[in-house]
Each structure stands twice: as C-alpha cells, then as structure tokens.
Amino acid sequence: MPSIVFIQANGRQDVLDVPVGTTLMHAVVAAGLDGIVGECGGSAMCATCHVYVGQD
C-alpha cells in the first residue's frame, strides 16, 4: 500500500497509507484532513485541490 505525504500550506505533513485504486481526494476526505472538502466529487472542477508530485 503506497504511503502518501500531504503537505499543508503551513508546512504540516500528514502521511496516509492509501490503498491502490483509491483517489487521493477520497483518501484525504476519509481521513478528515483540513483543506480538501471534495465537493466536486473528484471531478477536479472546483479547483481547490492542488497536487504537486516530487521527482523522487
């Protein structure tokens, strides 16, 4: 199961183990992390989710 590091704007880091096939939005909403509400249902139409993937 992949571990995903979510970094908040204030620098706080939350690490979640996310099952393969689960969207990042659903993982964050299920974990109750601040900042992502998921109102668009994962269609990326609300423009509040931002994903930056590190090269490593």
Supply the pLDDT for residue 43: 73
Measured in degrees and rounded to the nearest 5, phi and psi for residue 29 equal -65, -45
Beta-carbon contacts of residue 24 (< 8 Å; ≥ 6 apart): 4, 18, 49, 51
N- to C-terminal Cα distance for the chain? 17
CATH code of the domain in which 13 resides = 3.10.20.30
Q: pLDDT (tens digit, 9 = 90+) per residue, 4-51?
A: 998 888 899 999 999 999 988 889 889 998 877 788 777 767 766 677
- The model's pTM is 0.70
Degrees, nearest 5: CA angle 14-18-22 = 125
39 vs 19: CA distance, rounded Å: 22
Q: What's the domain count of the chain?
A: 1
Find the domain containing 18 and state its range. 1-56
